[in-house]
Amino acid sequence: MNEIIFVTHNKGKMESAKVHLKDIEFKIFDYELDEPRSDDISYISKQKVLEAYSIVKKPCISLDSGFFIDELNGFPRAFVNFVLDTIGIHGILKLMEGKENRNCRFMECLSYYDGQDLKQFFSTTEGILSKEIVGFNSSKKWSNLWYIFIPQNETRTLAQLSDDEIYQRRKNEKESSMKIFANWYIARHPS
């Protein structure tokens, strides 16, 4: 099985990879890839994996995600980092004051490129927005949205869950794009 390089600067994504890609030989290359301006996470992920491959010259993956709030017509979509850097989670909660529909979701796209074939894997994590910022900091955190996102079938934000609970959630996720990719890759490259 060939080694895969995961090019990312996001510590939370690195932690997630250790859970979902444990059966694949992979290394993390800590590098911040350019973020194309687009509303399309599949396009962003594709551009990032092509850039990653041009740097490492080995089969690699890149992961991009968006955050979609139903009441705000999907805002902020793929512009999560810009929104967090400008209005932050306080601003998101301000926009949601008095709103009953608090449904939201993370959508992610993992792109794999080996120099010839480009494959993409998608997943969605449903939830609701809390009405306040709650929780504690963790090395597993990959976004400040953890303080306001309550996953489906949960009563607490991601930031309120213990490291062990986060690990168990990741391990038991049925449809993480990393897990979908890992299953595809292992089937394609049996040991």
Assess contact for 143 and 76: CB atoms under 8 A. no
C-alpha distance from residue 49 to each of 55, 132, 138, 171, 172 (Å): 10, 35, 27, 25, 26
Whether residue 34 lies in the annotated active site: no
Which is catalytic among the residues 64, 70, 114, 164? 64
- Neighbour tally for 20: CB within 10 Å: 20
Per the DSSP assignment, residues forming a β-bridge with 26 are: 4
Tokens of 93: 């909660």
Q: Just list the catalytic residues.
A: 64
